[in-house]
């Protein structure tokens, strides 16, 4: 009996690992949309020199993902950048200096739909992420608004329900959105699983007796 359960467990882990190949974690999804938004904004204003990054409004604990993306994209473009508050940042005397102020209007990750195509079919989960960022670039020396713009990015896919605990991360609550499943599914599934396991155990012992 123990050997049977061990073999079944190993097979389940192997299947889970195969399903997870190439699937982005929820954190990686937020990194992707943030990186795409930051790249679009930085490419749009195209200013050189020294940039002070200033978050005017955020949405929560995930804000740092976009800040990191901005810093990476601006350094990639050859800009000097600091995330210090404008009043605390020293402006280099030998270069132009700008302040990039941004507002995170939306940064969300959700499971819009969790469903099972058939009573005994595998469950699927639809994932959706989106970000909307408004930004403006101000010349620190003159106070002139040099550029105003925004970026909106989305991501969506579907994954097996069995991968939810793999793509979510315990240390980041924002990677664990609510799972709005039908109550009847929550009740029926354990019954079906219990029935399948009972049937397998019965067959196992039946084969042992026949031997």
Angle (deg, nearest 10), helices 2-20 and 183-210: 130
pTM, two decimals, is 0.76
| Pairwise CA distance, residues 193 & 186, whole Å | 11
For residues 153 and 161, what is the distance between their CA atoms, to the nearest angstrom? 25
pLDDT score, position 46: 77
The separation between CA 6 and the C-alpha centre of its own chain, rounded to angstroms, equals 33
Task: Report, at the CATH architecture level, how domain 24-178 is classified.
Answer: 3-Layer(aba) Sandwich (3.40)
Q: Evaluate whether 149 touches 44 at the Cβ level (below 8 Å).
A: yes
Q: Please report which confidence band the pLDDT of residue 4 belongs to, taking 50, 70 and 90 as the band edges.
A: very low
Give tens-digit pLDDT for 136-171. 999 988 999 999 999 999 999 999 999 999 999 999
């Amino acid at each position: 009996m123990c050997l049977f359960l061990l073999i079944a467990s190993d097979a389940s882990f192997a299947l889970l690992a195969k399903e997870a190949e190439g699937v982005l974690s929820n954190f990686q999804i937020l990194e992707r949309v943030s990186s795409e938004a930051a790249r679009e904004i930085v490419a749009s204003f195209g200013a050189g020199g020294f940039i002070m990054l200033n978050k005017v409004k955020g949405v929560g604990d995930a804000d740092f993902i976009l800040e990191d993306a901005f810093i990476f994209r601006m350094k990639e473009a050859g800009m000097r950048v600091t995330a210090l508050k404008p009043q605390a940042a020293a402006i280099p005397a030998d270069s132009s200096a700008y302040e990039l102020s941004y507002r995170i209007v939306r940064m969300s990750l959700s499971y819009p739909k969790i469903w099972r195509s058939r009573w005994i079919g595998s469950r699927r989960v639809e994932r959706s992420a989106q970000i909307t960022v408004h930004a403006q670039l101000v010349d620190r020396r003159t106070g002139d608004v040099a550029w105003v713009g925004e970026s909106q990015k989305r991501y969506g896919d579907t994954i097996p329900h069995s991968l939810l605990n793999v793509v979510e991360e315990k240390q980041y609550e924002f990677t664990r959105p609510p799972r709005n499943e039908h109550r009847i599914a929550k009740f029926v599934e354990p019954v079906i699983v219990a029935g399948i396991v009972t049937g397998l155990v019965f067959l196992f012992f039946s084969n042992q007796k026949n031997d």
